[in-house]
Amino acid sequence: MSSKRAEFGSRLGVIAATVGSAVGLGNIWRFPYEAGTGGGAAFLLIYIVFVFVLGVPTICAEFSLGRFSRQGMPGAYSKTSGSRRWDFLGYASILAALMILAFYSVVAGWTLEYIIESVKSMFGDVDIADRHGAFTAFTGSWTAVVWTIVFLIINGLVMLGGVQKGIERVCNVLMPILFLILLAFSVNSLLMPGARQGLEFLFKPDFSALNAGVILSAMGQAFFSLSIGMGCMVTYASYFKDDTPLVRTSIEIAALDTLVAVMAGVIIFPAVFSFGMSPAEGPTLVFEVLPAIFHQMTGGPFWSLLFFVLLALASLTSIISVSEIVVTFLCDTLGWRRVKATVVLTLFTLVAATLCSLSFGPLRDLDLFNAFDFISSNILMPLCGLGVCVFVGWRMKRPEYEAQMRGRSRVPAWLFDTITFCLRYIAPVGILSVFIAGLM
């Protein structure tokens, strides 16, 4: 009865799609403000440690689970363990995915408004006197809702194309463009008068800024940015070919994702210092501070357009991957056709995202935006991340895990042993501490 499961066509496609998932608002919008409020270089250093000590083993675990079972969530757990006892973790992942879709597409929608604003300012002056007021008024308006809907429809169209013709093809085109735009921006920033100060802030650690809170947010940021702890990498790996090298791919994702976060810092901090602003502005850094900076730069509207196109593209390849978690579930577990799954998910998300968007306006008291962000990032992602590490590290049969990790590629014994040790001991303890501290 089952037709052959879809597969990514090439290794480049695998990298484009998985890095496309990892690189998103998390790197370009969230990382700079987290690093900005967390003291810059000290935050970056801790962040990198988390990416490689906790992130890489967790990606490996998710990959092994997904490719071994050839199932998304929650089927990956039941197929691998032969019991339904672990399925709750899969359902928790799907819940997290639905919540992330709802609030993430709101921010993604904002990027479209800023693209239009940038084009407008090429042809006439845009009033920047009250940027904060304008931003607040926009985010609480129905215009923001419309942009969110537009974004979700674009996402739905890509999803209809399927894994190879939709996701892989779009990521193959968008990811190189994204890297080129980032490169152009980095060069531009390095030529600014505040470049030195910006780079010192990003690369010269001052450990006095470190405290437990900063360490915890660095860990949360690593999870969010690498798209782990919600079944995204499990789902994608269920479409990998048998010869895709899992360990190498995990390390490549971690390295490229970190590179983009660092590039975002290299782009943003020199600009912030050049124009006498504060790096610790918080979540509005990208949407309020940067447009003000662009406005003062030569060729500002052009750079602004380029930047928000970059942000929109990065958001799209990430939203696609979150949607795939749910679509794969609906197809694998409920036996739906892809078209039906995509349409139903899109309609559901339209409603949930509209409610989130209105959290900035009429539904301020309900504030679903922050509730969904908090529940998914601070509760469900750590819980599911912990679950996948414990399951793969302790419950999955060792030969099955080893066959996935080693496969036909040659992984040095020390590397395999180190990753497995981190997976079984370091990651569960580390994640559990974040979870507990996060709840407190």
Residue 27 sits at the vertex; the CA angle it makes with 60 and 237, to the nearest 5 degrees, is 25
Judged by CB under 6 A, the chain residues 111 through 140 that form the site for ligand PFF are none
Q: Residue 3, exposed/middle/buried by CB under 10 A (0-12, 13-18, 19+)? A: exposed
Least gap, CB of 325 to ligand PFF (angstroms): 6
264 part of the interface to ligand PFF, by CB under 6 A: no
323 part of the interface to ligand PFF, by CB under 6 A: no
Least gap, CB of 54 to ligand PFF (angstroms): 15
- Cβ density class 314-352: b for 16+ within 10 Å, e for less: bbbbbbbbbbbbbbbbbbbbeebebeebbeebbeebbeb
322 part of the interface to ligand PFF, by CB under 6 A: yes
* Rounded-to-integer distance, Cα 104 and Cα 306, Å: 20
Least gap, CB of 100 to ligand PFF (angstroms): 6
Pick from 19, 98, 99, 100: which binds ligand PFF (CB under 6 A)? Answer: 100
* Rounded-to-integer distance, Cα 132 and Cα 111, Å: 16
Count of residues interacting with ligand PFF (CB under 6 A):
15
Judged by CB under 6 A, the chain residues 186 through 225 that form the site for ligand PFF are 224-225
- Whether the ω angle into residue 74 lies within 30 degrees of 0, i.e. cis, is yes
174 part of the interface to ligand PFF, by CB under 6 A: no
Half-sphere exposure of 33 (CA within 13 A, CB side): 15
CB atoms inside a 10 Å sphere around CB 136: 15
318 part of the interface to ligand PFF, by CB under 6 A: yes
Q: Which is nearer to ligand PFF, 139 or 227 (CB)?
A: 227
Least gap, CB of 207 to ligand PFF (angstroms): 26
21 part of the interface to ligand PFF, by CB under 6 A: yes
Pick from 17, 22, 59, 306: which binds ligand PFF (CB under 6 A)? Answer: 22
Q: Which is nearer to ligand PFF, 41 or 261 (CB)?
A: 261
Check: CB of residue 269 under 8 Å from CB of residue 38. no
Check: CB of residue 164 under 8 Å from CB of residue 369. no
Residue 357 sits at the vertex; the CA angle it makes with 355 and 360, to the nearest 5 degrees, is 110
Closest by CA to 94, choosing from 317, 315, 331, 434, is: 331
Least gap, CB of 19 to ligand PFF (angstroms): 10
Q: Which is nearer to ligand PFF, 214 or 384 (CB)?
A: 384
Pick from 232, 306, 350, 383: which binds ligand PFF (CB under 6 A)? Answer: 232
Least gap, CB of 233 to ligand PFF (angstroms): 8
317 part of the interface to ligand PFF, by CB under 6 A: no
Q: Which is nearer to ligand PFF, 20 or 140 (CB)?
A: 20
Closest by CA to 120, choosing from 302, 260, 290, is: 302
27 part of the interface to ligand PFF, by CB under 6 A: yes
321 part of the interface to ligand PFF, by CB under 6 A: yes
Q: Which is nearer to ligand PFF, 278 or 370 (CB)?
A: 370
58 part of the interface to ligand PFF, by CB under 6 A: no
Least gap, CB of 55 to ligand PFF (angstroms): 11
- Number of residues in the chain: 440
Residues 6+ apart with CB under 8 A from 388: 58, 61, 62, 65, 89, 228, 229, 231, 234
Least gap, CB of 409 to ligand PFF (angstroms): 25
Q: Euclidean distance between the first and final Cα of the chain, in Å?
A: 49
- Cβ density class 371-387: b for 16+ within 10 Å, e for less: ebbebbbbbbbbbbbbb
Residue number, nearest CB to ligand PFF: 26
Q: Which stretch binds ligand PFF (CB under 6 A): 22-30, 64-72, 83-91, 351-359?
A: 22-30
Q: Which residues bind ligand PFF (CB under 6 A)?
A: 21-22, 24-27, 100, 224-225, 227, 230, 232, 318, 321-322
